[in-house]
Amino acid sequence: MHRRLATGLAASALALVTVTTTATAATAAPADKPQVLSSWTQTSASSYNAWAAARSNQSAWAAYGFDWSTDYCSDSPDNPFGFPFATSCARHDFGYRNYKAAGTFSTNKSRLDDALYADLERVCAGYSGATKSACDGTAWTYYQAVKAFG
């Protein structure tokens, strides 16, 4: 009786381990997650556009387990003086949150901050004259703040 019970318990334990291992493997992020994350956090407009397209279709990227949460520009205005910086800040948050989760934040922080500045400068490119100068100055201030405190 004891031998039968022990055999049954061992078989049950083995089945549980097999199911758990299979479920973990099935829910693991795709192997190219670091490459995708890198491609979405570069300074180029094409990197920004690829991230924005993915952000608008997050469900297609669910298997990657990306953190899409954002507080936009944190304690700074999201649209200072009417300049629409919120989406640039959201991409910056995306980079910070996901590189921190990957344990590689410190090696990527500088590029993430540079990408924020490039994004903000693209916003400012839509203005001219004194308005562009004000936007550029505000973008520089945001950039310096994240470099120092981000």
Please say whether the beta carbons of 61 and 94 come within 8 A.
no
Catalytic residue among 92, 113, 135, 143: 92
What is the rounded CA–CA span in Å between residue 40 and residue 55?
Answer: 10
Tell me how long the chain is: 150
Please say whether the beta carbons of 112 and 96 come within 8 A.
yes
Output the CA–CA distances (angstroms, integers) from residue 144 to 9, 17, 117, 134, 147, in the order listed: 61, 51, 9, 15, 5
What is the rounded CA–CA span in Å between residue 28 and residue 64?
Answer: 8
In 3D space, the residue among 117, 30, 107, 108 whose CA is nearest the CA of residue 66 turns out to be 30
Please say whether the beta carbons of 115 and 42 come within 8 A.
yes
2 as an active site residue: the answer is: no
Active-site amino acid positions:
92
